[in-house]
Amino acid sequence: MAGPDLALARLHQASKSYGKVRALDGVDLKLRGGELLALLGPNGAGKTTAIGLFLGLLRADGGTVELFGQDPQDIAARRHIGVMLQDAQLPATLRVGELIRLASSYYPAPRSVQESADLAGVADLLKRPYGKLSGGQQRRVQFALALCGRPKLLFLDEPTVGMDIEARGKLWAAIRHLVAEGNGVVLTTHYLEEAEALADRVCVMAKGRIISEGSVDALRARVAMKRVRCHTQLPEDIIRAWPGVVEIAHEGDRLCISTEHAEDVVRRLLALDADLRGLEVRAAGLAEAFTELTRDDSVAALQEAA
């Protein structure tokens, strides 16, 4: 079993192709206890394939895959993981409590049904048949099944799809609790605010490669784009023609200027508009960083440089 400093899960130069499609192309990835890693990337980037390798559902064509230092197809390693995949098929007639009891029985030291239900926020649904639940409720039950075995490592594939804001907030709190207890979590998501809210590290994938890895702040810092907002009487056409102005949008009665040269833009605004009000300059959010990183040309440049 892995010690505290060893990786819970690791991909080393892992590759996987489906026929001519290279779904993963030499990927390195490592996760430690007490860490949440968010895997981001556009559709088809290779996120699900990477998780499939960790879970032993797929075999790598090249490179190595380790779960607790063992082969993921080894049952001893798999006893310590919990999984919430996108397309869970569960028997509709079983009650939630029965499902949790059944899933717990596969693990050596499971949580009690009540503890699992409380953590996942489904304690009030224990007597309800699974098939009669709403989509968001079913997702919460799937989360209870993922954590009932007291896993050291959780794989959550787009866990909050279909959840309302309150349910999402509760799931985030439960995930934070599990990470604070020292467990590792690998999360894939298309909700950038989810990665921003939860992740210690963010890994951006595109076309089977990792194109960026680091903290959310480090990822943002890689993107030079800034947003300059203000109330101004200056005509939009004039601002648009300034060097470095990429985009102009209206937000209510404010103008929002996207630029890589925020200082130049601010200098011009102040020089030309004595009545300028409400000036604000902000770094790009994760959404902008993500868009910029996964633009086709930037992916190509990174791949050439690698």
CB of 144 to ligand ATP, least distance (A): 23
Which helix (H) or strand (E) segment is 209 a member of? strand 209-214
48 binds ligand ATP (CB under 6 A): yes
Of 86 and 114, nearer to ligand ATP (C-beta) is 86
Picking from 122, 60, 66, 76, the residue whose alpha carbon sits closest to that of residue 95 is: 122
Binding residues for ligand ATP restricted to 14-33, rule: CB under 6 A: 18, 21, 23
Alpha-carbon distance values, 56 to 75, 183, 298 (Å): 10, 20, 32
Cα dihedral value 93, 98, 102, 105, nearest 10: -170
Return the structure tokens found at 157: 């594939």
Contact track, ligand ATP, 166-195, x by CB under 6 A: ------------------------------
66-95 residues near ligand ATP, rule: CB under 6 A? none
Closer to ligand ATP at the Cβ: 191 or 242?
A: 191
- Cα of first residue to Cα of last residue in the chain, in angstroms, is 34
Does position 129 interact with ligand ATP (CB under 6 A)? The reply is no
Q: Do 81 and 151 touch, CB atoms closer than 8 A?
A: yes
The single residue among 10, 47, 140, 152 that binds ligand ATP, judged by CB under 6 A, is: 47
Residue 41 binds ligand ATP, judged by CB under 6 A: yes
Q: How far is CA 175 from CA 32, 251, 301, in A?
A: 15, 34, 36
Q: Which is nearer to ligand ATP, 65 or 239 (CB)?
A: 65
Q: Which one among 27, 29, 33, 46 touches ligand ATP, defined by CB under 6 A? A: 46
Over the range 18-44, which residues count as b (16 or more CB within 10 Å of their CB) and which as e?
Answer: eeeebbbbbbebbbbbebbbbbbbbee
Residue 45 engages ligand ATP in binding (rule: CB under 6 A): yes
- What is the SS3 assignment for 301? helix
The answer to the question of residue 44 lying near ligand ATP (CB under 6 A) is yes
Single out the segment in contact with ligand ATP by CB under 6 A; choices: 2-10, 41-49, 104-112, 119-127: 41-49
Residues that bind ligand ATP (CB under 6 A): 18, 21, 23, 41, 43-49
